Structure 1
Amino acid sequence: MRRPRPHRPAPAGPPVELFIEAMGGEGDGVAAGGVYVPFSLQGERVRATGGGERRELLEVLQASPDRVTPPCPHFGVCGGCALQHWAHAPYLAWKAERLRVTLARQHLDTEILPAYAAPPESRRRFALHARRGSREAARAGYKARKSWDLVDVAVCPISDRGLQAAIPALKRLAAPLFEHPKSAPTLHTTLTATGLDVDISGVEAKSGGLSADARMQVAERAAEADLARVTIGGEVAYLARMPQVRLGPAVVSLPPGAFLQATPGAEAAMSAFVAEAAQGASRIADLYCGVGTFTFRLAQIGQVHAADFAAEAVGALTSALASAPGLHGVTAEARDLVRRPVLAEELKKTDVAVFDPPRAGAAEQAAELARSGVARVIGVSCNPATFARDARTLVDAGFRLERVLPVDQFLWSTHIELVGVFSR
């Protein structure tokens, strides 16, 4: 059997002048012949280099009126943001149009509401990749664009100022983590009501993990920075106080690595939208509930049964019930909703079902919702393509997709999220 030949980029020719006719699905400008130029905008005349269908921008010869000055000094080198050069209104309209096109591919036509847009400096979590630096401070930042190289960041204008201010302390925290040459730590950092929660992955463990001395240094530097908690591979390395967040009427203590919506504002907007759509229900299913992003707010409306594959998240949700008196009642279970979705027969007395799956979607659970007698379904998604697939299953079973709220909480990326409301 012949081995496949490795991909080789098309040979680069001399720089060429191109007119950008449209914006592609990943935020690149598109010229005639399907040539993509990153960091260009529709209507611009640019000079680009490279070969094949993907080029690199050399110079903007005639700028679009929608071009703005990027606010981040790392933009263009850092692989995090793709669209800081685009004015906010057309950028947001482009995201909503991409969502409409994605739904249309599944022949779904619905009302698309004005998008919720997260402002700068609003993200409460980021993941800093660390590389060996000095004994006092590691290098830390984001992956470079189209590379495994590291951009050693000093600021990050999408992130909360509390996270930005912590970058020097996080670099100090990471310095003792390189005892093994294969260690490539990532510091998953979340800003909570009680301080920063840092969950570290990528520390080589086969050799026995960190030495006692290195762990002591991590704890000392966490204390210097007044971090709430540091975990390494999910195990506690330092704990001053439990990281906590308020979700509606409840205060939740987070398990290590717990999922939260990226911005508190988006979480509030999505929760309000979900709660409004669930009004009048007496029994509600909250599927893929996590630590209770929607559960506690829904329990102010009716009785809730919550389910999620992550037992730690369900445990945190259950423990938080005591902090939220006056709820209509919550039951919760750890359950793999792919291998064991909540069946239509189990949903007989359910009025409203909410599902908020990972990027892969909820194909198996959507099939059971389609078979059920549930009157209203609310879908929350970080992936419009899998949402559209699951929506098609529901619509084919007699549901109507009434309206969709686009949610832009990953500012200046090509990513768009949504909440959709279905009724029989």
Structure 2
Amino acid sequence: MRSSSRRPGRPESPKPAGPPVEVVIETVGGEGDGVAAGPIYVPFTLPGERVRAVGGGERRELEAVLSASAERVAPPCPHFGVCGGCALQHWEHGAYLAWKVERLRTTLGLQRIESEILAPFAAKPGTRRRLALHARPGKRAEARLGYKGRKSWDLVDITVCPIADPRLEAALPALRRMAAPLFEHPKSAPTLHVTLTSEGIDVDITGVERKSGGLSADARMRLAEAAAEADFARVTMDGDVAYGARQPVVRLGPAAVALPPGAFLQAVPEAEAAMAAFAVAQVAGAERIADLYCGVGTFTFRLAQVAPVYAVDGHAPAIRALTSAISTAPGLKGVTAEARDLTRRPVLAVEFKKIDTVLFDPPRAGALEQTAELAASKVSKIVGVSCNPATFARDARVLIDAGFSLDRVLPVDQFLWSPHVELVGVFSR
């Protein structure tokens, strides 16, 4: 292993800046930056453009677009270019989507995988129901609130957010007021995880220093008063209820699920519905289904309209919420649920003896341990949902080597204007 004198954890020193250079952008890289020969990476540029870039090393900054692409469009957000949330608002939508699909195809190809790639689902502006907003001290009655800056820890205090549901955007002033009491300890760096539910806005706050005893009674009262004035449904701090007017509920297919604090939820309801509809269509005729990494039941209740479902997830509060919601969904074929860490204790091949179909929806790290057991099982069909094409491709290679084929893939652009792409893949033996 090559040694280095740089201390671990410290950022590398910036390369000495040279004179501006003119380059032609050849492609767009995996993080959304334009790539010229060298390579030289220049953000906010598009293939075919001639640009002037400044800085040193491989990573430069855009100074001017000298010859613009016909695919360049005006970004819809006034914070674009400073805010770190979006990287590709300057790209015409059709070309941007085609790039995401090609990225997915290339990632699968790295594992020697070919498959039919379907027309992508594309989220629209104004549809995100879930945001993570960073708060920093501001005035006594109002915190600063927004996203981290591009390649920076600085906060961009946002006034609008074109990706967010308009009801979340409208709540930004109230969220600033509610966050104002959170800075009694100098080490507090709160993040507000905001979710729009059928009962109103649900907020789970992390990052408030607790070693000193947490918030004072006065600060908690100010927070609760601001939440009540805004008519939020619930506010929790690391899972503990700080204000509660109504139990936040979301509908997942036929079920009404009471959300645990901080529960995972797909960011865009329409994307969730599209992925679920596609998955359900693929499992038609199944006799018994396992839903692994099921969360609060994103796919479980829809699958249970087809066949009995065995649902498993490592987050016990999510399993309790799923189990409680079964009674709200009449007509299900049956659901049994188990809280189980699928990394440390995956469902074994022998346990799939009476299961013919499996859906798995793991976190970004993928499901390597569980995939090995699926590969050794007699399961005939698998639907894989993934937020990380690289780990999906790695896991898919294990299944393919065991005799499965990846028949088709649905790309999902749920995180609009980001380099991020998700997918649903269908395997059969």
Same structural fold, with TM-score higher than 0.5 when normalized by the shorter chain: yes
- Return the offset for 1:3: 4.4
How far apart, CA to CA, are the structure 1 residues paired with 2:207 and 2:88? 29
Q: Per the alignment, in what secondary structure is the counterpart of residue 190 of structure 1?
A: strand
Of 168, 193, 196, the residue aligned with 1:191 is 196
How far apart, CA to CA, are the structure 2 residues paired with 1:9 and 1:149? 18
How far apart, CA to CA, are the structure 2 residues paired with 1:375 and 1:21? 43
> Within 5 A, what are the aligned runs for 1:112-151?
112-151=117-156
Q: Give the corresponding residue for 1:250.
A: 255
Q: Give the corresponding residue for 1:88.
A: 93
Q: Per the alignment, in what secondary structure is the counterpart of residue 133 of structure 1?
A: strand
1:270-293 alpha-carbon deviations (Å, 9 max, x no partner): 000110001101100000000000
Query: Which residue type is aligned with residue 287 of structure 1?
Result: L
- Quick one: structure 1 residues 193 and 372, their matched pair in 2 at CA, closer, same or farther if it must change by over 3 Å? same
Q: Does 1:159 align with 2:161?
A: no
Q: Give the corresponding residue for 1:111.
A: 116
Q: Does 1:407 align with 2:412?
A: yes
Q: Give the corresponding residue for 2:53.
A: 48
1:344-402 alpha-carbon deviations (Å, 9 max, x no partner): 11101111000000000000110010000011000000000000010000000000100
- Return the offset for 1:194: 0.6
**Residue-pair matches, total:** 424
Q: Bigger shift: 401-410 or 8-17?
A: 8-17
- Return the offset for 1:2: 8.2
How far apart, CA to CA, are the structure 2 residues paired with 1:251 and 1:154? 33
How far apart, CA to CA, are the structure 1 residues paired with 2:27 and 2:214? 51
Of 384, 389, 397, the residue aligned with 2:389 is 384
How far apart, CA to CA, are the structure 2 residues paired with 1:392 and 1:375? 16
How far apart, CA to CA, are the structure 1 residues paired with 2:286 and 2:33? 44
Q: Per the alignment, in what secondary structure is the counterpart of residue 217 of structure 1?
A: helix
Query: Which residue type is aligned with residue 6 of structure 2?
Result: P
How far apart, CA to CA, are the structure 1 residues paired with 2:413 and 2:212? 42
> Within 5 A, what are the aligned runs for 1:193-342?
193-342=198-347
- Return the offset for 1:21: 1.5
- Return the offset for 1:415: 0.2
Q: Does 1:170 align with 2:172?
A: no
- Return the offset for 1:9: 2.0
With the length of structure 2 as denominator, give the TM-score of the two structures: 0.98
How far apart, CA to CA, are the structure 2 residues paired with 1:218 and 1:37? 43
Q: Give the corresponding residue for 1:59.
A: 64
How far apart, CA to CA, are the structure 1 residues paired with 2:55 and 2:418? 24
Q: Does 1:396 align with 2:406?
A: no
1:173-211 alpha-carbon deviations (Å, 9 max, x no partner): 000111111111110000001100000001100000001
Q: Give the corresponding residue for 2:371.
A: 366
Query: Which residue type is aligned with residue 173 of structure 1?
Result: M
Query: Which residue type is aligned with residue 389 of structure 1?
Result: R
Runs of 4+ that moved beyond 4 A: none
With the length of structure 1 as denominator, give the TM-score of the two structures: 0.99
How far apart, CA to CA, are the structure 2 residues paired with 1:198 and 1:95? 31
Q: Per the alignment, in what secondary structure is the counterpart of residue 47 of structure 2?
A: coil
Identity %: 72
Q: Per the alignment, in what secondary structure is the counterpart of residue 132 of structure 2?
A: strand
Query: Which residue type is aligned with residue 169 of structure 2?
Result: Q
Q: Give the corresponding residue for 1:421.
A: 426
Q: Per the alignment, in what secondary structure is the counterpart of residue 138 of structure 2?
A: coil
* Structure 2 residues not aligned, in runs of 5+: none
How far apart, CA to CA, are the structure 2 residues paired with 1:293 and 1:402? 23
How far apart, CA to CA, are the structure 1 residues paired with 2:250 and 2:319? 15
> Within 5 A, what are the aligned runs for 1:3-14?
3-4=5-6, 7-14=12-19
Q: Per the alignment, in what secondary structure is the counterpart of residue 25 of structure 2?
A: strand
Q: Bigger shift: 14-23 or 57-66?
A: 14-23
How far apart, CA to CA, are the structure 1 residues paired with 2:4 and 2:59? 28
Q: Per the alignment, in what secondary structure is the counterpart of residue 213 of structure 1?
A: helix
Of 11, 22, 25, the residue aligned with 1:20 is 25
How far apart, CA to CA, are the structure 1 residues paired with 2:14 and 2:224? 47
- Return the offset for 1:27: 1.2
1:50-78 alpha-carbon deviations (Å, 9 max, x no partner): 01111100111110000000000000000
How far apart, CA to CA, are the structure 1 residues paired with 2:77 and 2:372? 44
- Return the offset for 1:215: 0.6
Q: Does 1:97 align with 2:99?
A: no
- Return the offset for 1:84: 0.2
How far apart, CA to CA, are the structure 1 residues paired with 2:258 and 2:162? 28
How far apart, CA to CA, are the structure 2 residues paired with 1:29 and 1:183? 36
How far apart, CA to CA, are the structure 1 residues paired with 2:341 and 2:90? 42
- Return the offset for 1:17: 1.2
- Quick one: structure 1 residues 2 and 28, their matched pair in 2 at CA, closer, same or farther if it must change by over 3 Å? closer
Query: Which residue type is aligned with residue 68 of structure 1?
Result: V
Query: Which residue type is aligned with residue 84 of structure 2?
Result: G
* Structure 1 residues not aligned, in runs of 5+: none
CA RMSD of aligned residues (A): 1.0
Q: Per the alignment, in what secondary structure is the counterpart of residue 75 of structure 2?
A: coil
